[in-house]
Amino acid sequence: MSRLVMISNRLPVSVSKDESGSLVFSRSVGGVATGIASLSEPQERLWLGWPGIVSEQLNDQERLEIISHLQHEGCGPVFLNAKEVNEFYDGFSNETIWPLFHYFASRSKFSQEHFETYRHVNQLFCDKIISYLEPGDSIWVHDYQLMLLPRMIREKVPDAHIGFFLHIPFPSFELIRHLPWRVEILEGILGADLVGFHEYDYVRHFLSSVYRITGHDHYLSELTVQDRLVRVDAFPMGIDYKKYSSCGELEEVKAAMRNFHNSEECKLIISIDRLDYTKGILHRLEAFDAFLRENREYIGKVSLIMVAVPSRTNVPEYMALREEIERSVSRINGNFGTINWTPIQYLYCSMAFSELAALYNAADLALITPLRDGMNLVAKEFIACQTGRDKQGVLVLSEMAGAASELGEALIVNPFDRSMLVSAIKEGLEMLEPEKQRRNALMQTRLSRYTVGHWAQDFLRRLGEVIEKQEHSVTRRFSKKYRVNAKGHYDSAEKRLLLFDYDGTLMPFFNRPELACPDQELLDLLKKLVLDVRNEVVIISGRDRATLEGWVGHLPLSMVVEHGGFIRDREGNWQSAISADDNWKNIVRPILELYTDRTPGAFIEEKVYSLVWHYRKSERDLARLRTQEIKNALYTMTSNLNIGVFEGNKIVEVKDISANKGHSVSSWVNREDWGFIFCAGDDYTDEDMFLSLPERAVSCKIGSGPSNADYRLDSPAELREFLRMLTGDE
């Protein structure tokens, strides 16, 4: 594999200064770093990010020392000054994005100045990356601090291989729409080839927001952005399972466990979080208070060890939260505590691995109930530590945590429902040992299989698959160079076949199909083409025969209508290309009528061989829902009939499968020894045409998206430019 370039806000190596002013380098091992370290490939890796110290604290010599040291660690620094850190990280990232994406919209602050700094810092990261980048590198961008970065890299290096992973929740459209810079944020993320989230709810929210805000629709979680395939998928992050499942045998963990002095009669509940308003710590304390009030028999027989890891200690909001938590702890201890027993042991500190593992191994119940969390690895670590224990612990887990989708055997709770939390605590403490073991064994099997190493490997493997798929589906732009080449073949050919779709190809789309009548420019172009005796011009359309006859029937050209149902030669003679009954319409029409009544703006168009449900004027999300409902209803009903259900550009078409543009094209291609063949179309039905063409033909897709065509043009207007070139008008 090529080199892997990791990019995150912070490096896995932090730089600080001690009391003497000397530089201190400390390695922090997080989940991502653990996952990357476990990869066997690629062996060459580079990690770029902020080293944790502001530029004002460094002189030129110290900068060089940091660069040199980090280089030996496989890292490269992006230096930031105090203002940039304050407005980019503390400001926009943590005062705007963090609360909004965790469903605390009222806490979000919308500062244009902070966003400008956020954009500026993302650009600094981009410039640094470009200076390190080598051909063939795979780039993996991490988290909400760098959401603009994928597109910035894409603009500098269009063929870069970019993955992006968001480690926090992605909220629903109703929240994203609050963000003044929502378009730039979404388009920034879509600069990646693969976009990853922890769970499918976040995938669904992201795709919905992209569709509503940027207009990019998706099919099976794949989008086309500027002719580039983008895949969106869920990759639940795992843990170093072996490290936690075997930690109970470590001497330092055993020693830490002996310090608890917990008796058999007193059950131990643990609660471990970073101190943050998203973690639901106050709700948890209120639930524990209610549990003791409602279950007096547990007074003196259950203790809660609550660990709050310091976070953003200088931010007034977090300082106030800490004070409120400590008041609540003091109140509960004062109300229920005795000389021999303290209900809550509250620790405001970071913990060493041995102490954390000891808590996991000693606990009878883990209370992990964030109000919203991207994943929550603490829950997974706790379950892994229950392996091999005679008396296992029970996990009470918030349904708002990403981990809940994987740990369904835990006691899943709504963290806002106090009575539900109280019931879960009681159920967990009283659960019989065989039931605990059964639940934990199922979760452990899952966690042991999908480890953090597997997570990293799976993401990179999928990124490679997306890149490979892009290479197979890429359609070259029909640039001036290719147009001039095609013009040369056109001029030298004695017999030419020109095949055109109509709607979306020769004419742009309109809200009502009858409005797409040809303008004078198109009529003049077609007239010049058909008056050249060397040309055979064929319009191959899904339109009904009467409409096209009325629009262009006065010209000596051929037509194939209703996707091949009827054929007209240049003299104006029509014949039916297929023989089929239309009794199926009596079955399908009532269904389409039902959904038309339920979808304002939708209408039905009837042709000889098809029925078309149009929704171009309907509200997008409602139409999208109705489209899926129609397809689901019709697929089952028509499975034994000779008809197909096809989704096109703002339509669902039900037609006889014998009517196929590809069959029609083949018949025209085989009639003569054509010296030049040109074919243009814009939607799924035209892909059949492109596939039926001989290798020497020139095919062109109008619009974006993967295609079997050789080339791509953006619009009917660009196609007309090329046709004017052929006729000598340009």
Pairing of strands 535-540, 651-656: unpaired
CA atoms of 465 and 133, how far apart (whole Å):
21
Token reading at 295: 């279950």
Could you confirm whether 501 is annotated as catalytic?
yes
Residue with the two structure tokens 């596939």: 691
Residue with the two structure tokens 């009858």: 514
Alpha helices by DSSP H, listed for 27-143, are: 31-37, 60-72, 82-84, 98-101, 112-132
Q: Would you tell me how many other CB atoms lie within 10 Å of the CB of residue 47?
A: 23
CA atoms of 560 and 566, how far apart (whole Å):
6
The active-site residue out of 193, 373, 501, 544 is 501
CA atoms of 308 and 327, how far apart (whole Å):
14
Token reading at 339: 């000389």
CA distances from 135 to 49, 131, 139, 226, 468 (A): 20, 12, 11, 22, 16
Pairing of strands 496-500, 676-681: parallel
CB of 206 closer than 8 Å to CB of 190: no
Query: At what angle are helices 182-189 and 149-156 packed, to 10 degrees?
Result: 60
CA atoms of 655 and 450, how far apart (whole Å):
45
CB of 46 closer than 8 Å to CB of 74: yes
Beta bridge partners of 243: none
Give one DSSP letter per residue of 533-574, joined into a string: TTEEEEEE-SS-HHHHHHHHTTSS-EEEEGGGTEEE-TTS-E
CA atoms of 135 and 138, how far apart (whole Å):
9
Catalytic residues: 501
